[in-house]
Structure 1
């Protein structure tokens, strides 16, 4: 009888200990659930509504940070929730030195702005305050730099095609050429990227307005006085063909002032010998 009472008492003690462990485990789980819930509320409910703790700007080191932040419309109240990244990108791309902008919100409170600067594909000249001044154009025809030091101009002139014949009215930083020049400037960019040596063989490209509409180009090679007349487009194959024709004419002693390539083949008129 005493043995069975002893076994029963042990079972009761074990059940009580197990019950206490269950209660402790439940309390721990409840506490963990509360902590996790608070953290989730903080992470997803509160932090995204707080001002950005970190704003990263890259791409154009010389561009003033305060200007970028102001142009993007970022204020002390800007948050992950209320920040309009698309609108900020459009505002930043209106800056004359910025070709493109990417604004990325990183959850929960970081903002990253990546700017792509404009790069020159051509050099032109315009009269500014009575002086002939270099004007730098990007592939979209945007004037993003006016003027240069002599040494800088010398270096850039050796690597950029010089365009003449352009008329700038009310010239300012951010001035944009008419849209009809965009294709031509895009051609210059492609050639300069793929075969810059071809462009270096041309000392000047003159834009000549057509009688009714559009324009055509007159190219002046660097090492021969002959003019090369083409339409309003340029490509590598066309330039190679023109250089080949010039070389053949030089070797054969053909004397001409202009070669016309507007039809796709070379047309020219031999100079008449002057009578004594």
Structure 2
């Protein structure tokens, strides 16, 4: 049986190396030097490179940078807001340049305007910006004390933001009123909370698909009791009977409501009915003395 074991003795014969490869002692071979002609060529290339870099730097500093200084910002999409007002809100720094201007910061500044729902800012070479704005659209009005101290109507959009006086929008007088709220210290840009958000979102969607139904409503009143979910009282424009329902609107439910109200009104029952209840699948009307179904 064969075995292989390590040994501590080195049986390899000694090696000798040429003296020119030795890195010790006075016999080490010196590094060859470039000829004077080559050294001059290398130095010339280095000088030419530095001069070219300096020329490019001067070109950027004295020609390109002045040519790319932002001189104008165009605002598109603004309907009720003056473009100069949005330019003032943009916070565009003085002597900003196309290469370095912070578009995201400008977008954030313009988006802080209460009437702006969205904005995007783009560079246009060599010296301009384009801001595309989407304005808030009112879907209802709410009454609260404004800066004048008087109770006035204010616009609310589909996201629940109170953003402008109703007097600034010609069609605001035809919008339904949102009531049942107490707003203290009103400031534009304030967002409503709770059941208002779902209600405003559904009202906006309904206005896009069936605006005739929205125009048939005079007022939405949110009512709530301690510990109970919020409910909605709907006051139709053409009928005397209010309707109680959940605080989310849909076209099918409102159409059914209108049919029932039309029957009630046609039968001459409106004076005796206190409210119609549509919170469940069964329509219930409450008279001024009893409850019927």
- TM score, norm. by length of structure 2: 0.68
Distance in 2, Cα, partners of 1:141 & 1:192: 15
- Which residue does the alignment assign to 2:141? 123
- Which residue does the alignment assign to 1:68? 86
Deviation for aligned residue 1:121 = 0.6
1:140-159, aligned counterparts within 5 Å?
Answer: 140-146=159-165, 148=167, 156-158=172-174
Q: Which of 160, 169, 177 is the matching residue for 1:162?
A: 177
- Which residue does the alignment assign to 1:224? 239
Cα distance change, pair 199–269 in 1 and its aligned pair in 2 (3 A): same
Distance in 2, Cα, partners of 1:57 & 1:175: 25
Report the structure number with the largest CA radius of gyration.
2
Specify which structure has the higher proportion of helix. 1
> Please, which runs of 5 or more residues in structure 2 have no aligned partner?
1-55
Distance in 2, Cα, partners of 1:272 & 1:168: 35
Count matched residues: 230
Cα distance change, pair 210–86 in 1 and its aligned pair in 2 (3 A): farther
1:72-111, aligned counterparts within 5 Å?
Answer: 72-111=90-129
- What is the root-mean-square deviation of aligned Cα atoms in Å? 3.0
Deviation for aligned residue 1:49 = 8.2
Deviation for aligned residue 1:185 = 0.6
> Please, which runs of 5 or more residues in structure 1 have no aligned partner?
1-37
Cα distance change, pair 134–48 in 1 and its aligned pair in 2 (3 A): same
Deviation for aligned residue 1:59 = 2.5
1:264 to 2:281 alignment: yes
1:132 to 2:151 alignment: yes
- TM score, norm. by length of structure 1: 0.72
SS at match of 1:60: coil
- Could you report, residue by residue, the CA deviation over 1:78-110 in whole angstroms, capped at 9, with x for unpaired residues? 222212222221221111121111101123432
Distance in 2, Cα, partners of 1:101 & 1:242: 39
